Amino acid sequence: MAELRPSGAPGPTAPPAPGPAAPPAFASLFPPGLHAIYGECRRLYPDQPNPLQVTAIVKYWFTGTDGPSGFGFELTFRLKRETGESAPPTWPAELMQGLARYVFQSENTFCSGDHVSWHSPLDNSESRIQHMLLTEDPQLQPVQTPFGVVTFLQIVGVCTEELHSAQQWNGQGILELLRTVPVAGGPWLITDMRRGETIFEIDPHLQQERVDKGIETDGSNLSGVSAKCAWDDLSRPPEDDEDSRSICIGTQPRRLSGKDTEQIRETLRRGLEINSKPVLPPINPQRQNGLTHDRTP
């Protein structure tokens, strides 16, 4: 049975003194917005009153310290314990700190079903788990704080092939598939950094019966993409066929292969078919009296 590590905000080093008699110095170190978060973590992990804490010099509080941050969520992460491991690693805290920094600097919030293209093993190893999906934490419930309601979003590590399927279809669909495969996450969506197979390699039927069918019926909910741009000197001849300068030599662009052309044509065809479907069902002529506008849910 996989073991879960505590997720969300860690508990304080000592329980806070009750009531208004708490020393001002302690109160300044224990922001009021964290009381409810710590309480929810203690509810889920009652046997861990003083878990390991990892902090940073520059802190990014989603729930705010002296006031609301405006984001209203905290990140959690469930990691499978390695054999012989006696203490949890600290790299998940660094990972969450990096995501928090991105949110504060870009002011782009995270939502359940979002994906994060990381393009590198999450633990800086040789793992195939190099990207992330986000979902509502299956155990930590939303809590009320003095600054508003805070929800918990769980990070789920995925392989590149699973990320691509989430982009072509949707993140929630891939998360549901991960829940059905115990070694790929199971009901608690536990990330196993030593997982060497994708869910499509474990169960090849998932690609055709679930993902391809879902793309055909639902399309994709991808609303935007990010990209890295680079440039090179096209005046120098390419070193080989893999060189980016081989795309264009002088003024003669390289023609697309037949396989690329067919893939683009098929993608456009699917998009046109999805967009041509009626958004609403036809109106019943017997009820089209100018007053009734019932719509079938």
E strand or H helix at 166: helix 160-168
Q: Measured in whole angstroms, how far is the alpha carbon of residue 250 from the centre of its chain?
A: 42
Number of C-beta neighbours around residue 89 at 10 A: 15
Give residues with Cβ within 8 angstroms of 204, minimum separation 6. Answer: none
Beta bridge partners of 75: 153
Q: What's the rounded Cα separation, in Å, for the pair 55 and 102? A: 17
Q: State the distance between the two ends of the chain, measured CA to CA, in whole angstroms.
A: 42
pTM summary value: 0.67
Q: What is the predicted pLDDT for the residue at 239? A: 67
* Sequential pLDDT tens for the chain (297 residues): 333 343 444 434 344 444 444 444 444 566 777 888 888 999 999 998 887 777 666 655 555 545 566 788 999 999 999 999 988 899 999 999 999 999 988 888 999 999 999 999 999 999 999 999 999 999 999 999 888 899 999 999 999 999 999 999 999 999 999 999 999 999 999 999 999 999 999 999 999 899 999 999 998 888 666 666 666 666 666 666 665 555 554 445 556 677 777 877 777 777 666 555 444 444 444 444 433 333 334
Decide: helix, strand or coil at residue 177. helix
